Structures are given as structure tokens and as C-alpha cells.
Amino acid sequence: MAMASFLILAMSLFQAQPDRRGTGGFAWVGKSAQSIHVNVADPKQQRQTLGDKSQALADATIIPVRVRGGDDASCNNLYQASEPQVMGITPGIQQADRNKEGKTELAWFGTDLQQSPWGHLEKKANGTRENPVPVILDQNTALWALHLGGYVGERFAYQFGEKTVHFQTVGVLQNTILQGSLWIGEANFQKVFPDIGGYRAFLVKPNATATKEQITEIRAALESGWADEGMSCASAEGILSRLLAVQNTYLSAFQLLGGLGLLLGTLGLGVSQLRSALERKSELAAMRAMGFPKGRLVWALFLENGWQLLRGLGIGMLCAMAASAPVLFRGNSVVALSGPLTMLACVIVLGLIFCVLAAALAMRQPLLGSLRSDR
């Protein structure tokens, strides 16, 4: 009972839901079918392309990203990425990934945040073994799609065409919209992949005080201004929801197995309680002969067996809270616990009913027959 309840609660606490730490405050992730060779973030270029509609982008922060296509290394890909997608991000990401207190808004794992991890991407490198390219990647991408260790300082290499490029991890993100790719600095990207020009991805962050209508206008302006290049914007929260849904599905499967085990354990507990009561029928019959009322004996058996049920569930719940404490202290958001707690409440009610039935069935044995069988 303790192990099953531990599994149900622990899996629930590790399920994640979209939040600002996952999106970094970015509202849209734009992608274009063709490379855009102008700076979309430049106000002059915006006015030249959009005219009066450029006012919609006045307070928005746009981070252009160069893209070297490859295998999707996110949770949506069940196979190991042999040639992952590489993104060359502009230096503006350092300023964009900051809140009012000057701290990073994205969620990081095992990364020194005393200075912006994005600043490490500006270190010049040529991708050789002696001078690897600094890279930032998501923990899920590192562990599951790339089969890496997912820690800062890790070195690895990939073959891109006829060229081998060596990387060194300088930052690890956790459950963010940046899953599925290797993120390097724009200058290093141009040095490693000189034949790729223009930008094909864009991170769009609206002003903190922007309304929903203004955020929608930003998307409309981008898609209309660069429609010839096939610009389309997707909601950052929607992208994160789809990514998290994959790992949450795996956790839900284990949770379901735990619930099935808990149900079988409850049934087994009821059977063992009934057998225990029947083995003690002569003892119960003697107590009844001495004047103990039947209701009092049923209550005693109920307390004895119910305590075992509650103790097992209590141990499991405490262990689950202890195991999940690091996640909660880091401020990671978790899904609502109403479902798992409702499941545990149903199991408790069902188990207590079994306790009452076991005690009642034991007390239905004939008094004289039970006493004679003890001779």
C-alpha cells in the first residue's frame, strides 16, 4: 500500500504544466518557409516593410535565429537524433531573457546563473576538439533524444555532412520551448555553417504590459509583413504544452499502473483481514461469551485493520513528499493534485469498507460452534 501510494503521488508531482519559466515570457515562435535576409527586429526595416502596421511591433522584442535543419531532438521524436537541428541565436537573447530584477526568466538545471548563460555563447570557437563550440540545450533533449549526460561542461560531437563539429555544454535548460535543438551563438554558427544565410526562426516577446489584443496584433503584423517568405507564428505556450504532454503521458502511464497496484493491494488487504478474523473466531467467540457486545468487537477489528491501511498510505504519502521536495523548492510548477488525492481517498474508503465487511463476516460465525472448535 505504501509503495503504490508513493508511486501515484510522486508521478503526479513530477508532471509539469506550461508556465512563464518554460516560455521565458515569449509569446510567439515564428518560423518561415524561406530564409529572411533582413533584420526583422530592426525598427527601420519594420517601417519599410509594414508601414503604419509597424506600430504593433514597437514595444515587442524579436530575436532572429539562424537554422541549420536536422533531426528533431525533442520529446516528439521517439528515436535518437543522429544529426540534430542547430540554431544560431543573436546576442539580443541576453537582454530578452531578463525580468525587471535582471534575472533570467527561463528555467535552468545545474547552471550557474550569476551571469547570463547566453553570454557564454559569444565565445569564439571553430568546432574543433581543442576549441569546441559553446552550446545550450534542454535537459530532455540531452537525455532522451541525444543520449547525453545533460550537465554543464559535457563535450560531444556530431557529424554534419562531411564535417565533424565538437560542442561543449555551457547551460542546460529544463522543460522549455527551446527543446529539440542545439543553441549556439550567431557568430559561431556563421563560422561553422558558412553556407547558410538568413534567418528562419524568431522568438517574439511582447512588452510586459501588453494586452491580449496587442499580442495578437504582433502576430498579425509579422505574418502579413513577411507572408512571401511563409512566415507563421505559433503560440509559445501551445508549443510547450505539446512538448510537456509527451512526458506527462509517460508519467500518467506509471501512475495508472500504481493505481491498479493500489487497488489490488486493497483487495488483498481485505482478504487477509477476513482470513485473520476467521482464524481468530474462537477468540472472538470467547469474548462474546464473556459479555462483549458484537458491535464492540466489530469496532475493535475495524480499528485494528483500518490502522494498517492508513499507516501504509501515510508512509507512502510522506515518502512522496520527501522525494519531490527538491522539485517543489526549485519553484517548478506541478499539475493539480486533485486527481491523485481523489484516487487515494477512494482507496481509503474502499479499504475501510473491506475492514468493516471482514469484521462483520467474522462475527457471523455461530458462538457455540466456534467455542467447540477450540477444544
pLDDT digits (tens, 9 = 90+) for 259-311: 777 777 777 777 777 777 777 777 777 777 787 887 787 788 778 777 878 88
- CB of 202 within 8 A of CB of 30? yes
Cell of 16: 509539469
Tell whether 238 and 263 lie within a shared domain: no
Structure confidence at residue 215 as a pLDDT band (50, 70, 90)? very high
Q: For the chain, what percent of residues have pLDDT higher than 90? A: 42
Tell whether 71 and 213 lie within a shared domain: yes
Tell whether 75 and 212 lie within a shared domain: yes
Tell whether 231 and 306 lie within a shared domain: no
Tell whether 107 and 237 lie within a shared domain: yes
- Given a cut of 90, whether residue 190 has pLDDT beyond it is yes
Highest mean pLDDT among 11-20, 30-39, 342-351, 365-374: 30-39
Tell whether 288 and 346 lie within a shared domain: yes
Tell whether 252 and 124 lie within a shared domain: no
- Given a cut of 70, whether residue 76 has pLDDT beyond it is no
Tell whether 289 and 337 lie within a shared domain: yes
Note down the domain range covering 74. Answer: 21-242
Tell whether 9 and 50 lie within a shared domain: no
User: Which residue, of 216, 242, 268, is where some domain finishes?
Assistant: 242
Tell whether 81 and 197 lie within a shared domain: yes
User: Which residue, of 189, 217, 242, is where some domain finishes?
Assistant: 242
Q: Which amino acid is at 139?
A: Q
* CB burial readout 222-236, b (16+ within 10 A) else e: bbebbeebebebebb
Tell whether 220 and 258 lie within a shared domain: no
- Given a cut of 90, whether residue 253 has pLDDT beyond it is no
Q: How many domains does the chain have?
A: 2
pLDDT digits (tens, 9 = 90+) for 217-242: 999 999 999 999 999 999 999 999 88
Q: CA-CA distance, 267 to 270, in Å (whole number)?
A: 5
Three state DSSP letters for the chain: CHHHHHHHHHHHHCCCCCCHHHHCCCCEEEEEEEEECCCCCCHHHHHHHHHHHHHHHCCCEEEEEEEECCECECCCCCCCCCCEEEEEECCCHHHHCCCCCCCCCCCECCCCCCCCHHHHHHCCCCCCCCCCEEEEEEHHHHHHHCCCCCCCCCEEEEEECCEEEEEEEEEEECCCCCCEEEEEEHHHHHHHCCCCCCEEEEEEECCCCCCHHHHHHHHHHHHHHCCCCCCEEEEHHHHHHHHHHHHHHHHHHHHHHHHHHHHHHHHHHHHHHHHHHHHCHHHHHHHHHCCCCHHHHHHHHHHHHHHHHHHHHHHHHHHHHHHHHHHHHCCCCCCCCHHHHHHHHHHHHHHHHHHHHHHHHHHCCCHHHHHHCCC
- Please give the mean pLDDT across all residues of the chain: 84
Q: For the chain, what percent of residues have pLDDT higher than 70? A: 91
Tell whether 279 and 132 lie within a shared domain: no
User: Which residue, of 176, 209, 242, is where some domain finishes?
Assistant: 242
